[in-house]
Amino acid sequence: MIHINIEKKLKAAQGDMLLNVDIKIKKGQLVTLYGESGAGKTSTLKILSGLLKADKGNITVGNKSWFNSDTKINSAPQKRNIGYVFQDYALFPHMTVLQNLEYALVKNQSKDIISEVLEIMELGSLKDRKPETLSGGQKQRVALARALVQKPEILLLDEPLSALDIKIRLKLQDYLLKVHKKYNLTTILISHDIGEIHKLSDWVFVLKNGVIEKMGTPTEIFINKKLSGKFKFKGEVLKIEKEEIVYVVSVLIFNDVVKIIAQESEVKNLNPGDNVIVASKAFNPIIYKIE
């Protein structure tokens, strides 16, 4: 069990914001921190990893105390046994993939883990390449492999896939799940991608203005109770065109533009850029495999 119970005054754009988080995460779970930009998600991960110091509170991991403002415990980041992956890969450009991984080894650590992570992340054929010759998805696989070299108990993923296109992102999600399970990690993900959160997480914490606003399973958090539709997708309105007596709303859903016929009353408050749900209530959606 990880218990994070901390307070820290942050400097938000509109003035001071108190980050006040009290969350418990069971060992082996994959949980997501979700919330608007500036809500305090990254700061929470930094405080857990020791890169940022809380003003007060405590952090316990299993039976170890990593931070306690009363007893003045504050373990150094390198003692906290955490793997951290960010959106930008932060690989050393002058080193090969293999050297990047070896650099992460701690003193006297066996090199066996390197061949293991190369294999699990399917990076063997790329091990002598420099990062600049790799695609975004490949770089992020290296970054993930590097985070695993020190055999962390906790994996922190700060929007690791948001710079990648949808196809690569779906593939990388499979790698994330695979390593999360194989290494029995407790993983904390920051993501804005609701599909990704559904696929990966056991539990979601919604952070707003520095505090946990709600928590639950992805279904509890994201299913819109007003619609009992058989299928629904979130999308973004691209344009609204009038065609005789109806309106045609073009909505971007993942990478596809879907045209929806709508009545005047439905488009009254709708503008390009709005986030919407596209759902079907009466008809069963059809399904077929795409190659």
State the residues that interact with ligand ATP by CB under 6 A: 10-13, 17, 35, 37-43, 52
Provide, rounded to whole angstroms, the least separation between the CB of residue 196 and ligand ATP: 14
Residue 2 or residue 156: which is nearer to ligand ATP going by CB? 156
Residue 18 or residue 279: which is nearer to ligand ATP going by CB? 18
Provide, rounded to whole angstroms, the least separation between the CB of residue 17 and ligand ATP: 6
Residue 33 or residue 98: which is nearer to ligand ATP going by CB? 33
Residue 105 or residue 163: which is nearer to ligand ATP going by CB? 163
Distance CA 162, CA 205 (A): 19
22: nearest Cα among 186, 210, 156, 159: 210
Provide, rounded to whole angstroms, the least separation between the CB of residue 169 and ligand ATP: 17
Residue 43 or residue 186: which is nearer to ligand ATP going by CB? 43
Provide, rounded to whole angstroms, the least separation between the CB of residue 259 and ligand ATP: 31
Provide, rounded to whole angstroms, the least separation between the CB of residue 275 and ligand ATP: 16
